């Protein structure tokens, strides 16, 4: 079974731009969660989608948004990028959203 | 608000040693707890998942225990190897509905050959 895939793996943007990251969960998994990882803040929960509905949301500004498609693939969007948005963005998939999470390799976003 | 702490932040041990990593959480109303390892610049690899009704889980040289009442989990690594060098993270999922996952601060482990 293929694991969680994330594209792109690396991204360089400038302040004020917007970016879209993509995550394909393990086949059959219906839950996708997104996390931001930085050296200073560690791993922080962004949001979770289950069957195309946002089921939970972390404490991030409205510039961070996401969606999930009918095939469970998910995208997250960050608008009006700030320097502080530079981070490793990780996606995790879970069958039902309650149990074991499996992570993708992450997308490294650098904002200049 | 759930807070998850891992002590120590870094640990260096000689190869072959048995070691224990600690994870403490403030709210005992949890659904499950999961241990991960992360290699530099990479994603997280799931090691063990313990449901709230369980006391421990084992996989190979790894054993994780859970004590909800005291808000603690430990990850025991037997006969450590240089390949075990990584950052180890615990993650707690709250109970009661669609609770989000809270990650600990991580323990960076170095196993010296």
Q: What is the pLDDT of residue A98?
A: 76
**What residues of A are in contact with residue B46 (Cβ under 8 Å)?**
100-103
What is residue A1's predicted lDDT score, i.e. its pLDDT?
67
Q: What is the dihedral of CA A103, A46, B104, B58, to 10 degrees?
A: -30
The pLDDT averaged over each successive group of 10 residues in chain A (112 residues) is 92 97 96 94 93 92 97 97 97 87 96 96
DSSP string, A35-93: EEEETTTEEEEEEEEETTEEEEE-S--TTEEEEE-TTS-EEEEE-S--GGG-EEEEEEE
B98 — pLDDT class (breaks 50, 70, 90): low
Residue A92 with chain B: CB contacts under 8 Å: 44
- For B46, the closest of A88, A100, A106 (CB atoms) is A100
Contact assignment for B43 to A104 by CB distance below 8 Å: yes
Inter-chain contacts counted by CB atoms under 8 A, chains A and B: 51
- Residues B37-49 have a mean pLDDT of 93
Q: Measuring CA to CA, how many Å separate A76 from each of A80, A110, B74?
A: 14, 16, 34
- How far is it, in rounded angstroms, from Cα B47 to Cα B45? 6
């Amino acid at each position: 079974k293929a694991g969680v895939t994330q594209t792109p793996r690396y991204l360089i943007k400038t302040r004020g731009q917007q970016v879209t990251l993509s995550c394909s969960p393990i086949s059959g998994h219906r839950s996708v969660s997104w996390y931001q990882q930085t050296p200073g803040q560690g791993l922080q929960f962004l949001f979770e989608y289950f069957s195309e509905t946002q089921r939970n949301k972390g404490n991030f500004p409205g510039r961070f948004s996401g969606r999930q498609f009918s095939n469970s693939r998910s995208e997250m969007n960050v608008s009006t990028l700030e320097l502080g948005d530079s981070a490793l963005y990780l996606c995790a998939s879970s069958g039902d959203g309650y149990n074991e999470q499996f992570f993708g390799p992450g997308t490294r976003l650098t904002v200049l | 608000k759930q807070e998850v702490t891992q002590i120590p932040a870094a640990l260096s041990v000689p190869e072959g040693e048995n070691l224990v990593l600690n994870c403490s959480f403030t709210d005992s109303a949890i659904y499950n707890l999961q241990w991960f390892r992360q290699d530099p610049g990479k994603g997280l690899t799931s090691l063990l998942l313990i449901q709230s009704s369980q006391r421990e889980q084992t996989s190979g040289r790894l054993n994780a225990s859970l004590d909800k009442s005291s808000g603690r989990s430990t990850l025991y690594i037997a006969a450590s190897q240089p390949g075990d060098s990584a950052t180890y993270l615990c993650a707690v999922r709250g109970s009661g509905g669609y609770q989000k996952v809270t990650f600990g601060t991580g323990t960076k482990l170095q196993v010296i050959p």
